[in-house]
Structure 1
Amino acid sequence: MAKFPVINLEKLNGERAATMDLIKDACENWGFFEVLNHGIPYDFMDRVESLTKEHYKKCMEQRFKELVASKALEGLQAEVTDMDWESTLFAPSP
């Protein structure tokens, strides 16, 4: 079984062409990849995730309720209290 691509951005310095080829291949053949050594602080990524979830809670929840109210989704009467409109996978490297 093939493993999904893992790209080490530190290698952009010195092995730029090979690293860019890995990114191109990952985008074309996988549609995603894991990035190592990107230099983005984890507290910043946590804040972005928090703001994203807050945005979707405000915007998408209201749209969903409007669809239910307009009977576009007949039969769905339950109150929606726990939505995760964003789906991500975070697997820190060892």
Structure 2
Amino acid sequence: MENFPVINLKNINGEERKTILEQIQDACQNWGFFELVNHGIPLELLDAVERLTKEHYRKCMEKRFKEAVESKGLEAEVKDMDWESTFFLRQHL
């Protein structure tokens, strides 16, 4: 099986810009996703965005669940439900 695209942005503002943009285009067209490395975004910010996104998603799912239960005239209590399963891999090169 082929590995999914990993695109290095280290030289995005240099001579490799055209090649890197072609890699991004290819990944979008042929894979639909890719990993960016050397993008310069601090890991702390990425962690904060991930945490806030998961919290928002959890709250939205709980609200939808409660609304669906109420609309059917049922009673249910939401406790420690796993609203999503995710696989998150961060590789430091």
One fold, TM greater than 0.5?
yes
Paired residues of 1:53 and 1:84 also in contact (CA < 8 A): no
Structure 1 position 60, deviation (Å): 2.2
The correspondence of residues 48-87 of structure 1 with structure 2, limited to 5 A, is 48-71=49-72, 79-85=78-84, 87=86
Cα distance change of structure 1 residues 78 and 58 upon mapping to structure 2, 3 Å threshold: closer
Aligned equivalent of 1:91: 90
Structure 1 position 20, deviation (Å): 0.3
Paired residues of 2:7 and 2:35 also in contact (CA < 8 A): yes
CA distance in 1, matches of 2:78, 2:88: 27
- Counterpart residue identity of residue 48, structure 2: R
TM-score (normalised: structure 2): 0.79
Aligned equivalent of 1:2: 2
Count of aligned pairs between the two proteins: 90
TM-score (normalised: structure 1): 0.78
Structure 1 position 26, deviation (Å): 0.4
Higher mean C-alpha displacement, 38-47 vs 61-70 = 61-70
